[in-house]
Amino acid sequence: MAQNKAAENGGFSFTRTGSMGRQGLPKIQTHPEATSEVCHDDSGTPVKAKTIDELHSLQKKKSSQPTTPINGKQGSFAAISEEDRQKQQLQSISASLASLTRETGPKVVKGDPARKSEGQKATHVEHHLYDASLFGVSDSALKFTHILYNLSPAELYEQAIKYEKGSFITATGALATLSGAKTGRSPRDKRVVKDEETENELWWGKGSPNIEMDEHTFLVNRERAVDYLNSLDKVYVNDQFLNWDPEHRIKVRIVSARAYHSLFMHNMCIRPTPEELLEFGTPDFTIYNAGQFPCNRYTHYMTSSTSVDLNLSRREMVILGTQYAGEMKKGLFSVMHYLMPKRQILSLHSGCNMGKDGDVALFFGLSGTGKTTLSTDHNRYLIGDDEHCWSNNGVSNIEGGCYAKCIDLSKDKEPDIWNAIKFGTVVENVVFDEHTREVDYSEKSVTENTRAAYPIEYIPNAKIPCVGPHPKNVILLACDAFGVLPPVSKLSLAQTMYHFISGYTALVLNQSSFCLKYLPVACIAYY
């Protein structure tokens, strides 16, 4: 009877055995033997994990997402072991990170070093590319560099918040980050290698935006960047695409030191499908982003501690001394300006959208003239906000995301952009309330050039794939504050060609508030 009473009370009984508690209440005595007959609501099988690490490992099921490019002509998801897949991927990345002056570099290992306690198997590949008798082997060859390959936004959030100071989740779920001392691009620190291939193909000299450097200086900076990346415990690697036109798609690899940069490029480039990633192979172009590490100012052609170097012959780009993510975006755009005209394709700095009847409009203009705002029209389908190719097939977006200015952003004026700033979006250099994490888009304390980078799918009416027929309307956003053009000008075909070729625009007096209030437009309709 006493046992049944105990069972009814969940294994406890109240007794009056002469031992009294406070205020004359009886002490509680437990009956462990009665607990076996107690009925519980949770009748599931107990967890088999013996340690907390084992329990955590059960929380995540094995992903079907492929993590290794396959070389050769094997079909999608070919019958290949996970270990062989991993070796192929690491060999490819190892070749990208190889030093040019030493036979060996650090051992390249898959995965986050912080998660090795979960029983993660380490596979490594050493560099064996150069004659060891010619060059000494440094102590860096004894260490491991962990490769975090094509991480998902959720994984990159975890990395940024845990390891990068200045990374926070805002009230809408976006990742707020800081780009360091540079909050915009550094065009005067950008260099292009002048060699036999580019000497007669690029515009050089006075008035040209192409500031030359020689290949030796590029290799010095490349070695400095690769050495810095190899000295880190882990680096982030993105394998992605440029250009939605499958006939002219470019494969790019981005090697970076910051999760913020990896997430930014995840959003801005075209994200491969699992099948495409398996067959990715060797990239057509590689970026080495060592922006946290400065260049050597005493190196030839250097004028500051920042250097953004482009070698079109080697198909490589090196970033030193600036963490502003826009350098990667514009660097790849420069590459497309070089590669696409060779294929008789016009690469365009423009926004693009399409009406319900298939009429495509292009919006040309410098940064801040309204391309993103005007192309993101909820009454039309968005093809892209900034970079496009115009070929015999029609127009195609180069990118997989949008890079919108945030200064004075409001839900009423730009609802689609406002709603796109959510989980997965990167917001750069914005100011937010430290308690509520609500972003104040009018605040310019860090910079006026606040930005949001988000996948193009975050715009509800985005056209996927981001391609369209030949344009019917071309709109030139000159942002002319000086009255050279009337506020709105309808141009003939010849006039439009003249202004396009001459590249007429005007300095934007106040990019955040002026350009949309007094926006002069020149347009021509094609029929």
Which residues are known to be catalytic? 185, 330, 349, 367, 371-372, 386, 451
Residue type, 273: T
**Pairing relation of β-strands 451-455 and 401-405?**
antiparallel
Nearest to 459 by CA among 354, 311, 366: 354
Within 10 angstroms of residue 59's Cβ, the number of other Cβ atoms is 7
CA dist., res. 402 & res. 149, Å (int): 23
Find residue 525's DSSP bridge partners.
Answer: 473
Cβ 146 vs Cβ 110: under 8 Å: yes
Cβ 175 vs Cβ 426: under 8 Å: yes
CA geometry: angle 135, 139, 143, nearest 5 deg? 120
Cβ 126 vs Cβ 91: under 8 Å: no
CA dist., res. 99 & res. 96, Å (int): 9
Total residue count of the chain as it appears in this document:
527
Using a CB cutoff of 8 Å and minimum separation of 24, what contacts does 127-135 make? 127/94, 127/95, 127/97, 127/98, 127/99, 127/103, 128/103, 128/104, 129/95, 129/98, 129/103, 130/100, 130/101, 130/102, 130/103, 131/103, 132/103, 132/104, 134/103, 135/101, 135/102, 135/103
| Residue carrying the six token digits 């001459």 | 502
The three-class DSSP label of residue 393 is: coil
Strands (E), 82-143: 107-110, 124-125
CA dist., res. 134 & res. 148, Å (int): 32
CA atoms within 13 A on the CB side of 257: 24
